[in-house]
Amino acid sequence: MNCIARHDGFSQVCVWPGTTVGADRVKEFEEYMAEEFGARVQYLEEILIRPGQKYTTAYADHQRYDLFFAVHEDDIAKFAVPRLYAGIRWIEDVLARINTGWDWYPERVVDYRSW
């Protein structure tokens, strides 16, 4: 499976750990983000994490979905700080962990980077 194509202008991908939306509530999610954070977003997908070797014992019975979405480039600056309070990470933060052996996501998520 390939990464979901982003609409024009939606360059910055974010990861919201432990968050699910569901295919039937995408519009509501995008409206919520506009109201709560003042940011236009594009829902991308939810990925079931796969605990890596370092985390297998602690998370052997744990299943968690993480939400991937993109923020419009004109809204990144005003979204940057408020996202921290919700625990939302930039994809670059996630990729830095993948490079150190943290492999909870499929390798294809590297295609979400904008750099």
pLDDT in tens, 15-58: 999 999 998 999 999 999 999 999 999 999 999 887 654 444 45
Which of the 8 DSSP states describes residue 102? -
Q: Please report the beta strands in the chain, taking only residues with DSSP state E, as ranges in sequence order.
A: 12-16, 41-48, 65-71, 89-90
Closest to 26 in 3D by CA, of 1, 8, 4: 4
Residue 10 pLDDT grade (very low, low, confident, very high; cuts 50, 70, 90)? very high
Cα dist from 68 to 3, 23, 56, 113, whole Å: 10, 13, 23, 12
Residue ranges covered by each domain of the chain: 12-103
pLDDT of residue 58: 52
pLDDT digits (tens, 9 = 90+) for 50-106: 765 444 445 555 678 999 999 999 999 999 999 999 999 999 888 876 555 556 788
CA distance 28 to 82: 19
Cα 65 to its chain centre, rounded Å, is 10
**Number of CB atoms found within 10 A of residue 76's CB:** 15
